[in-house]
Amino acid sequence: MKTSDKYKKQFFEVKNAERKWAKKTFIEKPPVWCSVDLRDGNQALIVPMSLDEKLKFFKLLVDVGFKEIEVGFPAASETEYTFLRTLIKKDMIPDDVTIQVLTQSREHIIKKTFKALEGIGNDKAIIHLYNSTSLAQREQVFKKSKEEIIKIAEVGAKYFNDMCKENKVKYRYEYSPESFTGTEPEFALEICNRVLDVWEPCADNKVIINLPVTVEHSSPNVYADQVEYMNDNLKYRENVIISLHPHNDRGTAVADAELGLLAGGDRVEGTLFGNGERTGNVDIITLALNMYSQGIEPNLDFTNITEIKNLYEEVTRMKVYDRQPYSGKLVFAAFSGSHQDAISKGMKWREENNIYEWTVPYLPIDPRDLGRVYETDVIRINSQSGKGGVSYILENNYSYKLPKKLSEEVSYLVKSVSDKSHNELSSDEIFKIFTDNYINKFDRIKLDKISFENDRDESVVKLNISFDGKILTFEGRGKGKFESVVNAISNNISNVSINDLTYDEHGISKGADSKAITYLSFTTDTGSVVWGVGLDTDILTSSIYALFSAINRALL
């Protein structure tokens, strides 16, 4: 017998499922978002948040744009109770935000929950009732029949009505058949409809039916079938909001939510960065930005994703994984040479063609929309990188537009340094490698003095140079000043031959600080191509410096 033989499916399929959701190709509008960070997320922390941390996190959730925020289980602990009372007494809940509280279907717990809500005002709170309905819970934990489980839910629902009437308040109601995905669909439907019969939802008093993936037992298509079954058969459907609450045990919470929305879901409960019990809840950031990347405005603001991440890590003492979709430190980073080249060219094509639509290869979303920076977040250089990445950094960070052949040479040098150090290289380190090896190099041959004269159609140069510490004087002639310098050196230094000379130049800044940069190459008698780069405020001087740099590199 194999050890896997002890496992069997713990979910219940919908019989004759229609699968209308499978005919849809994308989500057309965002759901109502409800953050459960302060309840579901908080109870999953090794060290739960303090009151001050909860208040700080609540403000963050409001700033992000959540209009429904579950603030806890006020009957469960004094901290939870005090937090809710603080929000109400200090008038910290914005007019357009509704808070949500959780309660079991037990009279004394419901009573304390209502007490915690005193003074909040009508329609400013959602009271969330739940009891577990799965076969495993009924048999192993509660040892109760289906009818007894329904009775628990009905008693709690009726007590909600009684408490609202007694306290002369009006709150919104939510019911969860906890462990919905481990419950027979017919029974989940029956218990939800019995609760709805007690609450009698109407257009002015809609009820939330939450369908939690308390534990992921199946692939997301099964959950979609279950949601669609409820969507098609719930009573009072036009006055019921179907809410989804996926956990991530199988690593498919986002897919559960997306297919659940296609299947009829109206609302999603989740957390920032997917925090929650065991493997966590659905990550609302991922879910919302998936929609954003398809042109659907999610109505949540993640333009400062790094600040959100920093505060989250501070108050939860959790870490956001480097590869966490959208929010991880490395999710936009390209180390591969071919990826870097494609991204660099895609960025350039978009700029040159003045394209607004985002179609850059390998980047499903513009990092700048999340407050990320191309120079530090996108192109990262290590031994796997290619010329595209190195060129991108030198051009975008330092305005150096390297010729293609020089770019290839520099990239191999950078990769070699990274490979030997077994480290990623920062842009400053790349820039230093480039400048140290190519720009204004005067190792063996140095320019001491230079003067020009004109002789009819020719330029005549007199050069004083230092060659291995000795001062030498040369004269050269040419059609222009730069050609005369080339001829002076090539005609007078026997071990320096200059063939097939090429050069390119451009400015790298504006105004009084403008400089000219020259990229120069020539072929030696042995067939080797050497490069040098010159930098100066004067274009002729930068060209001469580039020549000297290349000669010195040839003499290495």
State CA 136 to chain mean position distance.
38
What mean pLDDT comes out for the span 524-536?
Answer: 92
What mean pLDDT comes out for the span 341-348?
Answer: 86
3-state secondary structure of 341: helix
pLDDT category of residue 455 using cuts at 50, 70 and 90: confident
pLDDT at residue 67, rounded to an integer: 98
Q: Cβ distance 254 to 287 under 8 Å?
A: yes
* Homologous superfamily, domain 445-554: Alpha-isopropylmalate synthase LeuA, regulatory domain (3.30.160.270)
pLDDT at residue 52, rounded to an integer: 96
pLDDT tens-digit series, residues 187-216: 999 999 999 999 999 999 999 999 999 999
Report the alpha-carbon angle 4-9-10, nearest 5: 120
* Homologous superfamily, domain 33-316: Aldolase class I (3.20.20.70)
Q: Which two tokens stand for residue 417?
A: 């340094």
pLDDT tens-digit series, residues 286-329: 999 999 999 999 999 999 999 999 999 999 999 999 999 999 99
pLDDT at residue 76, rounded to an integer: 86
Q: Cβ distance 42 to 50 under 8 Å?
A: no
pLDDT at residue 375, rounded to an integer: 61
Euclidean distance between CA atoms 333 and 378, whole angstroms: 4
Euclidean distance between CA atoms 201 and 281, whole angstroms: 28
Euclidean distance between CA atoms 538 and 62, whole angstroms: 56
Residue 69 has pLDDT above 70, yes or no: yes
CATH 3.30.160.270 residue ranges in the chain?
Answer: 445-554
Partner residues linked to 474 by β-bridges: 463
pLDDT at residue 77, rounded to an integer: 86
Euclidean distance between CA atoms 393 and 388, whole angstroms: 9
CATH 3.20.20.70 residue ranges in the chain?
Answer: 33-316
Cα-based distances in Å from 4 to 9, 27, 250: 12, 37, 16
Q: Which of 2-6, 31-35, 367-371 shows the lowest per-residue confidence on average (mean pLDDT)?
A: 2-6
Euclidean distance between CA atoms 340 and 323, whole angstroms: 18
Residue 35 has pLDDT above 70, yes or no: yes
pLDDT tens-digit series, residues 477-497: 999 999 999 998 888 877 778
pLDDT category of residue 512 using cuts at 50, 70 and 90: low
pLDDT tens-digit series, residues 161-178: 999 999 999 999 999 999
